[in-house]
Amino acid sequence: MTDENRKPTPEEKAKAAAEAMAKAKAAKEAKEAAAKAEAEVEAPAQTSADTPSSSESKSFSEMTPEEKAAAKKAAAAEAIAKAKAAKEAESQAEAPTPAASKPVSEMTPEEKAAAKKAAAAEAIAKAKAAKEAESQAEAPTPAASKPVSEMTPEEKAAAKKAAAAEAIAKAKAAKEAESQAEAPTSAASKPISEMTPEEKAAAKKAAAAEALAKAKAAKEAKEAAEQGADAAGGDAETQAKAAAAAKAKAAAAAAAKAKAARDAAAQGGDSGDDADAKAKAAAAAKAKAAAAAAAKAKAAQAGGAGAAEADESQPKEPSKNQPYLDKYVARIKEAFGAEVIEASYINELAKEVPTLVIQNERWHDVALFLKEDEQLAFDYLSDLHGVDYEDRLEVYYHFYSYKNRQSLAVKVKTGREQSSVASVMDIWSGANWNERETYDLLGIYFPGHGDLRRILLPDDWVGHPLRKDYVQYDEEV
């Protein structure tokens, strides 16, 4: 096959895509630099150091309209020239690289490692140069500025706009530098299935470092935005806008961090290493869920204290279903003893249904008694589902007695590890699919079930989606 008819390899396609992205980014940076220069032309006497009459220059507030317009045009021309020179220098520095490089598939392991190091060093150097150029361009501004208390309303408005534009430009520059640092790595990487155990471990460390860098960059961008808002004068409207922008950036950073954690968990490939990453991600999610639960419980406790004080003055009347609850408790205690009932109460949030919490180990015996006892006769199971309370799992049952026209709810608790509740499929056949669904989505096993398997998800699905510490294994789904 000739070179003209030969199809490009995946490495060549990735390399071409990376080069195209780099060119597009360079063009975008030049355009943003020009726009930024136009936004900064209102800074007083910015071009005084470059004009021949710098010794005789006067402050921006003392200029005539014609002099202000001339100063703006000169500053814009200077910024465009600087951006063009930076772009030409960057293109000249990048020009020799493609001619001397060769496809990644033809490189030796040593050459691949050297290429990775060179690409990373180049990206860091570009980011550093961009930061230095930005700091140099911003240096004259504070020297010519005056206190906010001495500004006119027009100057204050201009200062606010300039501070906001500066904060946005800093955030963009940090984001672009980060994306440039990430670009060479993906081009030089190879499939996980071809990596050695050492390379897989290095990839995991790199992914973790990348996630930390993203979080740090997002935090710095947030601080820069807040500083810009404070420098603008601190009125309520500006601070509200800055807070909203910071909140959006924090949410984006959290999403990026979660995605990076999923990527790190998925980079173990088909080997056993992915179990470690998944376990770490699950532990982090579990800790977050526990913290949220603690905060919620604390708020509920604080709110409950005030409600309890109000209730003391006006005691509530007993529920109309309290006699039924007393009857159920008495019958079960008579048959099995008091220890089998962990709790009993009227659920005011669910139509005052009598509710029992039954000991897990004795549940199947109690369930059979609820159906066969003449005084209870709960012959219909209307609902069965599971709930994740973060520190435990519970299975919730709703029963109805057609004979007595009465309802009952039962809860059975189980631990998060090796969750298990006895099946009642042999007592109420309608529990079949409900128990399968609870097993599928929450991972609660029901010993005694005749056909316990997933009902909604495929058999090879990893994890149980309704658990609060669930981490999705396949991000493409």
Distance CA 224, CA 230 (A): 10
How many other C-beta atoms lie within 10 A of the C-beta of residue 427?
Answer: 20
Per-block average pLDDT, block size 10, for the chain (477 residues)?
Answer: 61 76 78 68 45 48 73 73 66 48 68 75 71 57 55 76 74 64 47 72 73 72 63 57 70 70 59 62 78 80 63 76 96 95 94 96 97 96 95 97 96 95 96 97 96 93 92 72
Distance CA 472, CA 463 (A): 8
> What is the distance between the terminal CA atoms of the chain, rounded to a whole angstrom?
39
Find, among 365, 266, 373, the residue nearest to 330 by Cα: 373
184 burial type by CB count under 10 A (0-12 exposed, 13-18 middle, 19+ buried) = buried
Which residue in this structure is represented by tokens 């006895």? 422
Handedness of CA 37, 41, 47, 53 (dihedral sign): positive
For residue 397, give both structure tokens.
């049952």
Find, among 134, 158, 161, the residue nearest to 146 by Cα: 158
Phi, psi of 11 (to 5 degrees): -65, -40
Task: Write the CB contacts of 232 (distance below 8 Å, at least 6 apart in sequence).
Answer: 156, 159, 160, 163, 164, 238
Tell me, what amino acid is at 207? A
Find, among 64, 129, 137, the residue nearest to 90 by Cα: 129
> Is 128 in contact with 201 (CB distance < 8 Å)?
no
Half-sphere exposure of 426 (CA within 13 A, CB side): 10
Judged by DSSP in three states, 250 sits in helix
413 bridge partner residues: 394
Distance CA 342, CA 263 (A): 44
b or e along 83-117 (b: 16 or more beta carbons within 10 Å of the residue's beta carbon)? beebeeebeeeeeeeeeeeeebeebeeeeeeebee
Number of helices followed by number of strands (H, E) in the chain: 12, 5
Q: Which H helix or E strand runs over 410?
A: strand 406-414
400 bridge partner residues: 380, 407
Q: Could you tell me whether strands 341-347 and 406-414 are parallel, antiparallel, or unpaired per DSSP bridges? A: unpaired
Distance CA 232, CA 326 (A): 68
Distance CA 367, CA 410 (A): 9
Determine the pLDDT at residue 276: 66
* Maximum alpha-carbon separation in the chain: 107
Q: The pTM is what?
A: 0.38
Distance CA 334, CA 4 (A): 90
Residue ranges of alpha helices (H) inside 391-455 are: 431-442
